[in-house]
Amino acid sequence: MRVILDPIKISFHNLNSSKFRSFLTMLGIIIGVGSVIIVMSLGSSAQGLVLNQVKTLGSNLIGILPGGAEEKGPPAAALGITITTLKYQDYEALIDKKKVPNLTSVAATVTGTALVKSASETKQENYYGTTASLADIQKFELAEGRFLLPQEDTNLARSVVLGSTAAGDLFPNTDPLGKDIIIKDQVFKVVGVLKKKGSSGFTNVDDLIYLPLFTAQKALLGINYLNSVSAKVDADENVDRAMEDIRATLREQHNITNPIDDDFTVRSTAQALSVLTNITNVLKYFLAGIAAISLVVGGVGIMNIMLVSVRQRIWEIGLRQAVGARKSDIILQFLIESVFVTFSGGSVGIILGGLISFLAAAIIKHLGYDWQFSLPAQSIMLAASIAILIGLIFGMYPARKAGRVSPMEALRYE
Amino acid sequence: MSLIKVVNLCKIYDNEGVKTAALCGVSFNIEKGEFVSIMGPSGSGKSTLMHILGLLDRPSDGKYYLDGEDTSTLSDNQLARLRNKKIGFVFQAFNLLPRTTVFENVELPLVYDRQSNAGNRSRVMKALRSVGLENRAEYFSNQLSGGEKQRVAIARALVNDPEVIFADEPTGNLDSKTGVQVMEIFEALNRHGHTIILVTHETVTASYANRIIKILDGKIVSDRAVSEKKRQLAERRKRIK
């Protein structure tokens, strides 16, 4: 026990007696471990932010995109490629309770961007051409007026519902309800304004304006296909069955016999969550890996200092051998010393990194994001183990050098 | 059975092909309880001899029996164990650990003897008492004078109750007055039965021993007992100084 405790005490003495040099020695490790902690902490906070937004939508949603996809990869439509295989007839088939009994709502959507003019403003806005059922799926709440009506889906009504941010953009000083806006020289009447909801997934629903599906398809975009269909399942446990029913229905619609030929992709929010988790995890660990490179630089610094230390204390090595220390005792002593240095540096780095992440979280939260400070225990464990590992790896060479010192040579060294 | 028995000891250094014999054909016995000085000018091989006798170095040829055991067949770890159990060292430069208390310095050999540390305190204090420093136990080694440092080093050599104590120029870094004090401690230890082997080039220091082995160019040139009369003469000379 003393053979382990004494080196720790000696290292502490050594570190304590020259504080500034010790600080410089440990700086590499402090910075390295600190940045790993910061990246891991901010990464898991950002991950939480993204995943929470998806989760607020509910885990019983299904999205249907045109174009086939590998099971794990993203559908082509998600990469911005225009595919025209999803049609209004498909939407009609999915509404059919006989074909897909578990769906409570189905909404078809096309998307576009246009210059939108109000009485006072002209703004570039993104719009959704969609069916009235979207309100139920997205859990829209109205600040005033109404959402699009089911009969407006197909009757080319010139009604428009504004997201809260879009409403503020276009009507900074007036109540938009009942006012006209102009999109592509066509006049639309504002029939409703949504309550502020915050971003969900990658789109911010507050920024959008909502038009009836056919109006957007035919009057603005001149297309006959859909960009996506979303659907809500009656219960979480029926999601898988509903997805199968949807696939079967669409294959029948598109005369597809072999599932490999599917020209559509069906995904659930649960799948999206796991895909997002995977992507954000990869990002997080990749960044942490880059941060860890500085640990190697720190490790080289430790090795350098340990080599100097072995040389400076060569008589001490000789003395210890003279009073009965074995080579392995000497190696162990110097290894423990270097691990003590990296572990101390690592601890400081963890505390420092944690503090910085905490401050960053406080600032980001202050800026209005739903950002939760998060410092997972596993990232602390990871950082601490890396610090110890660095001490072992970079302490090994100096320690073995110390172990090879002949006692007689060491005692002669003055 | 002699405590130390060396037969035809040789040590040859091979320095990039150039072979130099530091010791050649050295044979002698040392009995338990003896106080022996090994004398010779620098480069004579006396330090090499002490390192071999102290199991810090291995001979190139010849046999060395310590307490009846042939040391040439022992592994490095077994040699470390013998150094820990049977040998105490006192060096010219004291070799105390800095920023470490007197107590911890004296305790050092006990740390490496791989046994329970239960009796350490009483053993350390006993060793410190025998050099008259029991009231300095909690001092740091760098707070001591040179003479006190060397007495701590002697206590450290004593703490494991070794068969033999090797002292390599123990007065070399001390003024003559503290040197005398240190030598008197060795003399007292020898009176209490400790075997002491002293390496020195100073005649005065060597004369505290009962027997002087003189070495020149790696060979023993004389090995004789110090007569009581000569000893007293030397001591008187020191007092006059």
* pLDDT tens sequence across A158-181: 999 999 999 998 999 889 999 999
Q: How much is the ipTM here?
A: 0.90
- Pick from B47, B77, B109: CB nearest A323: B109
Residue type present at position A396: M
Chain mean pLDDT for chain A: 86
Residue type present at position B84: N
**Minimal Cα distance from A407: which residue of B?**
B56
Task: Evaluate whether residue B211 is within a structural domain.
Answer: yes
- At residue A235, does pLDDT exceed 80? yes
The count of other CB atoms within 10 Å of the CB of residue A303 is 19
Do the chains contact at B99 and A13, CB–CB below 8 Å? Answer: yes
**3-class DSSP assignment, residue B116:** coil
- Pick from B76, B93, B108: CB nearest A414: B93
DSSP H or E stretch at residue B64: strand B61-66
How far lies B116's CA from each of A5, A131, B78, B123, in Å? 14, 83, 19, 13
pTM of the shown model: 0.70
Q: In the structure, what pLDDT confidence band is assigned to residue A130 with cuts at 50, 70 and 90? A: very high
Do the chains contact at B89 and A414, CB–CB below 8 Å? Answer: no
The count of other CB atoms within 10 Å of the CB of residue B123 is 18
Task: Evaluate whether residue B88 is within a structural domain.
Answer: yes
**DSSP letters for B158-184:** HTT--SEEEEESTTTTS-HHHHHHHHH
Q: How far is residue B75's CA from residue A257's CA, in Å, rounded to a whole number?
A: 79
Identify the pLDDT of residue A1: 60
With the CA atoms of A120, A125, A128 and A134 taken in that order, what torsion angle do they form, in degrees rounded to the nearest 10? Answer: -70
- Chain B residues close to A403, C-beta within 8 Å: none
DSSP H or E stretch at residue B6: strand B4-15
Cβ atoms A132, A153 nearer than 8 A: yes
Q: What is the DSSP letter of B56?
A: S
Q: How far is residue A170's CA from residue A193's CA, in Å, rounded to a whole number?
A: 12
- Our CA-based measurement puts residue A306 at a distance from the nearest CA of chain B, in whole angstroms, of 18
CA atoms within 13 A on the CB side of B172: 14
Cβ atoms A103, A242 nearer than 8 A: yes
Identify the pLDDT of residue A120: 87
Average pLDDT of the segment spanning B210-239: 81
- Our CA-based measurement puts residue B68 at a distance from the nearest CA of chain A, in whole angstroms, of 20
Both structure tokens of B32? 């338990």
Q: Mutate which of A320, A323, A327 to test chain B, going by most B C-beta atoms within 10 A?
A: A323
Nearest to B53 by CA among B44, B62, B43: B62
Task: Evaluate whether residue B25 is within a structural domain.
Answer: no
Percent of chain A at pLDDT exceeding 90: 38
Do the chains contact at B91 and A411, CB–CB below 8 Å? Answer: yes
| Residue B241 touches chain A, beta carbons under 8 Å | no
Do the chains contact at B56 and A322, CB–CB below 8 Å? Answer: yes
Cα angle A133-A135-A141, degrees, rounded to a multiple of 5: 155
pLDDT in tens, B177-216: 999 999 999 999 999 999 999 999 888 888 899 999 999 9
- At residue A6, does pLDDT exceed 80? no
Cβ atoms A127, A252 nearer than 8 A: no
- Chain A residues close to B77, C-beta within 8 Å: 326-328
To 10 degrees, what angle do helices B176-191 and B146-158 make?
A: 20
Task: Evaluate whether residue B64 is within a structural domain.
Answer: no
Q: How far is residue A109's CA from residue A227's CA, in Å, rounded to a whole number?
A: 6
| Residue A6 touches chain B, beta carbons under 8 Å | yes
> Which residues partner with B64 through β-bridges?
B6
Q: In the structure, what pLDDT confidence band is assigned to residue A270 with cuts at 50, 70 and 90? A: confident
Both structure tokens of A65? 């995109």
Which residues, 6 or more positions from A106, have their beta carbon under 8 angstroms from its beta carbon? A91, A94, A95, A131, A133, A229, A230, A231, A232
Cβ atoms B24, B84 nearer than 8 A: no
Do the chains contact at B99 and A17, CB–CB below 8 Å? Answer: yes
Q: In the structure, what pLDDT confidence band is assigned to residue A368 with cuts at 50, 70 and 90? A: confident
Do the chains contact at A324 and B93, CB–CB below 8 Å? Answer: no
DSSP H or E stretch at residue B78: helix B76-86
**Minimal Cα distance from B82: which residue of A?**
A324
Cα angle B162-B167-B169, degrees, rounded to a multiple of 5: 175
Q: How far is residue B155's CA from residue B173's CA, in Å, rounded to a whole number?
A: 18
- At residue B28, does pLDDT exceed 80? yes
- Pick from A1, A17, A315: CB nearest B95: A315
- Our CA-based measurement puts residue B22 at a distance from the nearest CA of chain A, in whole angstroms, of 14
More confident position, A395 or A79? A395
- Phi, psi dihedrals of residue A127, rounded to the nearest 5°: -130, 155
Q: In the structure, what pLDDT confidence band is assigned to residue B221 with cuts at 50, 70 and 90? A: very high
Percent of chain A at pLDDT exceeding 70: 94
Do the chains contact at B97 and A322, CB–CB below 8 Å? Answer: no
Question: SS in 3 state form for chain A?
Answer: CHHHHHHHHHHHHHHHHCHHHHHHHHHHHHHHHHHHHHHHHHHHHHHHHHHHHHHHHCCCEEEEEECCCCCCCCCHHHHCCCCCCCEHHHHHHHHCCCCCCCEEEEEEEEEEEEEEECCCCEEEEEEEEECCCHHHHCCCCEEEECCCCHHHHCCCCCEEEECHHHHHHHCCCCCCCCCEEEECCEEEEEEEEECCCCEECCEEHHHCEEEEHHHHHHHHHCCCECCEEEEEECCHHHHHHHHHHHHHHHHHHHCCCCHHHCCEEEEEHHHHHHHHHHHHHHHHHHHHHHHHHHHHHHHHHHHHHHHHHHHHCHHHHHHHHHCCCCHHHHHHHHHHHHHHHHHHHHHHHHHHHHHHHHHHHHHHHHCCCCCCCCCCHHHHHHHHHHHHHHHHHHHHHHHHHHHHCCHHHHHHCC
Do the chains contact at A323 and B108, CB–CB below 8 Å? Answer: yes
Cβ atoms A43, A287 nearer than 8 A: yes
Residue with tokens 């039965």, as numbered in its chain: B193
| Residue A360 touches chain B, beta carbons under 8 Å | no
Residue with tokens 């013998």, as numbered in its chain: B82
pLDDT in tens, A304-347: 988 988 888 898 899 999 999 999 989 988 998 899 889 999 99
Cβ atoms B109, B140 nearer than 8 A: no
More confident position, A73 or B223? B223
| Residue A275 touches chain B, beta carbons under 8 Å | no
Cβ atoms A86, A65 nearer than 8 A: yes
> Which residues partner with B168 through β-bridges?
B199
Q: Which domain holds residue B113?
A: 33-53+76-240
Q: How far is residue A118's CA from residue A209's CA, in Å, rounded to a whole number?
A: 13
Do the chains contact at A324 and B85, CB–CB below 8 Å? Answer: yes
- Pick from A315, A322, A326: CB nearest B77: A326
pLDDT in tens, B90-148: 999 889 988 889 999 999 999 888 777 778 899 999 999 999 998 999 999 989 999 99
Identify the pLDDT of residue A199: 60
Q: How far is residue B224's CA from residue B96's CA, in Å, rounded to a whole number?
A: 34
pLDDT in tens, A7-64: 777 777 777 777 787 788 888 899 999 998 998 898 888 888 878 777 777 778 898 9
Chain mean pLDDT for chain B: 89
To 10 degrees, what angle do helices A327-366 and A269-312 make?
A: 140
Nearest to A287 by CA among A30, A42, A26: A42
Specify the CATH number for the domain of residue B230.
Answer: 3.40.50.300
Task: Evaluate whether residue B65 is within a structural domain.
Answer: no
Q: In the structure, what pLDDT confidence band is assigned to residue A290 with cuts at 50, 70 and 90? A: confident
Task: Evaluate whether residue B13 is within a structural domain.
Answer: no
Identify the pLDDT of residue A97: 85
**3-class DSSP assignment, residue B37:** strand
- At residue A182, does pLDDT exceed 60? yes
- At residue A348, does pLDDT exceed 60? yes
Which residues, 6 or more positions from A309, have their beta carbon under 8 angstroms from its beta carbon? A14, A334, A337, A398
**Which residues, numbered 276 to 315 in chain A, qualify as contacts with chain B under a Cβ-Cβ cut-off of 8 Å?**
315
The count of other CB atoms within 10 Å of the CB of residue A132 is 20
> Which residues partner with B66 through β-bridges?
B4, B69
- Chain B residues close to A13, C-beta within 8 Å: 99-100
Task: Evaluate whether residue B7 is within a structural domain.
Answer: no
Percent of chain B at pLDDT exceeding 90: 63
| Residue A19 touches chain B, beta carbons under 8 Å | no
- Domains identified in chain B, total number: 1
- Chain A residues close to B93, C-beta within 8 Å: 315, 414
Cβ atoms B56, A408 nearer than 8 A: yes
Residue type present at position A50: V
Identify the pLDDT of residue A3: 66
Cβ atoms A280, A43 nearer than 8 A: yes
- At residue B69, does pLDDT exceed 80? yes
Which residues, 6 or more positions from B145, have their beta carbon under 8 angstroms from its beta carbon? B178
